C-alpha cells in the first residue's frame, strides 16, 4: 500500500492525536508551546475558515491569551477546536463559538455589555477588547472569584465580575447595548429582554437537550428574533429557592 497521506490539520481524531503528541513532547522537554502561533492558527482555521469576518472580533481573538483562562494542566490544549473543563462542572466555550457570539452581538467601542455566565472569564476578556465596559455575572462564587482575580491580573480593567444569578440581569446598570448569555435557559428570562436598549442585541443559546443560538434585537417598534445554529451549553441555573 502506498503511504497514506498525512492528515490535514482538522478536527478529526488523527489530527487531535498528532497535535496532542507534539504538545506532550514539548511539555516533556520543558519547552512551552508557542502559544502565539497556536492562537494564530486557531483564528485562521477555526474562526475565519467558518465565516467570522468582523475585523475587530478577529483582532480580539488574536490578542486574548486563551491559555491563561484554562486550568494549567490543560494549557497545551487551549487552542484546540472545542470546549474545555474549567472546574465546578463548567466549561470554557469552543473558540469559534466565542468569536461567533461576539460577532453576532455587533459590539461598538462605546458599548456597555452584560455577560451572563462569566465561567473562565475568557468571553469577558474578548468583549473587554471591543467595548467600553463589560459587566459579567457568575453564579458559582469560586469561578467568579477566580475570574475576577485573573482578569485584574491580566489588566482587563473595564470588566466587572459580579457574583450572583444572571437570570435577573443587572437592573441597576440597565439598559445594555448588548447582552450575551453563555449558559442555556429553556426560555429567555424576561428581565434580560427588558434590559436591552433600543438597537441592542441579546445573543443566547436556548433549549434543553436541543439548543439553538438565538439573536433577539430590540427595535423602535419591538423585538425581532432569529435562530442561527444548534449548540450545546451548560444549563442556565436558577438560584436555589428563587
Cα–Cα dist 9/5, whole Å: 12
Residue whose C-beta lies closest to ligand SAH: 119
Q: Does 47 bind ligand SAH (CB under 6 A)?
A: no
Query: Active-site residue among 77, 93, 120, 128?
Result: 93
The stretch among 71-79, 84-92, 103-111, 204-212 that binds ligand SAH (CB under 6 A) is: 84-92
Q: Does 77 bind ligand SAH (CB under 6 A)?
A: no
- Between 17 and 149, whose beta carbon lies closer to ligand SAH? 149
Binding residues for ligand SAH, total number by CB under 6 A? 23
User: From the CB of 27, what's the least distance to ligand SAH, in Å?
Assistant: 23
105, 130, 150, 183: which one contacts ligand SAH (CB under 6 A)?
A: 183
167, 192, 200, 213: which one contacts ligand SAH (CB under 6 A)?
A: 167
Output the CA torsion 105→108→112→116 (10° steps): 20
User: Angle at the Cα of 234 (from 231 to 235), degrees rounded to 5?
Assistant: 105
The stretch among 8-16, 54-62, 112-120, 204-212 that binds ligand SAH (CB under 6 A) is: 112-120
Question: For residue 96, which phi and psi values (nearest 5 degrees)?
Answer: -60, -40
User: From the CB of 229, what's the least distance to ligand SAH, in Å?
Assistant: 17
Give the three cell numbers for residue 7: 492528515
Cα–Cα dist 12/7, whole Å: 9
Q: Does 161 bind ligand SAH (CB under 6 A)?
A: no
Buried b (16+ CB within 10 A) or exposed e, 162-201: beebbbbbbeeebbbbbbbbbbbbeebbeebbebbeeebb
Question: For residue 159, which phi and psi values (nearest 5 degrees)?
Answer: -115, 130
Q: Identify residues 116-155 at the interface with ligand SAH (CB under 6 A).
A: 116-117, 119-120, 122-123, 137-140, 143
The residues that bridge with 202 in the sheet, in sequence order, are: 179, 216
Q: Does 182 bind ligand SAH (CB under 6 A)?
A: yes
The residues that bridge with 138 in the sheet, in sequence order, are: 163
Q: Does 75 bind ligand SAH (CB under 6 A)?
A: no
93 is catalytic: yes
46, 75, 77, 91: which one contacts ligand SAH (CB under 6 A)?
A: 91
Distances (CA, A) of 158 to 31, 55, 121, 135, 161: 33, 21, 13, 8, 10
Q: Does 107 bind ligand SAH (CB under 6 A)?
A: no
Is the Cα torsion angle 70, 76, 77, 79 positive or negative in sign? positive
Q: Does 166 bind ligand SAH (CB under 6 A)?
A: yes
Confirm if 167 and 191 have CB atoms less than 8 A apart.
Answer: yes
Give catalytic residues, as residue numbers: 93
Which positions lie near ligand SAH, rule CB under 6 A?
90-93, 116-117, 119-120, 122-123, 137-140, 143, 165-167, 182-183, 234, 236-237
Amino acid at each position: 500500500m502506498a503511504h497514506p497521506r498525512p492528515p490535514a490539520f482538522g478536527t478529526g481524531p488523527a489530527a487531535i492525536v498528532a497535535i496532542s503528541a507534539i504538545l506532550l513532547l514539548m511539555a516533556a522537554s520543558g519547552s512551552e508551546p508557542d502559544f502565539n502561533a497556536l492562537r494564530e492558527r486557531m483564528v485562521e482555521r477555526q474562526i475565519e475558515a467558518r465565516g467570522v469576518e468582523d475585523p475587530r472580533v478577529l483582532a480580539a481573538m488574536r490578542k486574548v491569551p486563551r491559555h491563561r483562562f484554562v486550568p494549567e494542566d490543560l494549557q497545551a490544549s487551549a487552542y484546540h477546536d472545542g470546549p474545555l473543563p474549567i472546574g465546578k462542572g463548567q466549561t470554557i466555550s469552543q473558540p469559534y463559538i466565542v468569536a461567533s457570539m461576539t460577532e453576532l452581538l455587533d459590539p461598538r467601542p462605546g458599548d456597555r455589555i452584560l455577560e451572563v455566565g462569566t465561567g473562565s472569564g475568557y468571553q469577558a476578556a474578548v468583549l473587554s477588547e471591543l467595548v467600553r465596559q463589560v459587566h459579567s455575572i457568575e453564579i458559582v462564587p469560586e469561578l467568579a472569584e477566580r475570574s475576577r482575580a485573573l482578569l485584574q491580573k491580566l489588566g482587563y480593567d473595564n470588566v466587572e465580575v459580579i457574583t450572583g444569578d444572571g437570570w435577573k440581569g443587572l437592573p441597576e446598570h440597565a439598559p445594555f447595548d448588548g447582552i450575551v448569555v453563555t449558559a442555556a435557559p429553556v426560555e429567555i428570562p424576561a428581565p434580560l429582554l427588558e434590559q436591552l436598549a433600543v438597537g441592542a442585541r441579546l445573543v443566547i443559546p436556548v433549549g434543553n437537550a436541543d439548543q439553538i443560538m438565538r439573536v433577539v434585537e430590540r427595535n423602535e417598534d419591538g423585538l425581532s428574533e432569529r435562530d442561527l445554529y444548534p449548540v450545546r451549553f451548560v444549563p442556565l441555573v436558577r438560584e436555589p429557592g428563587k
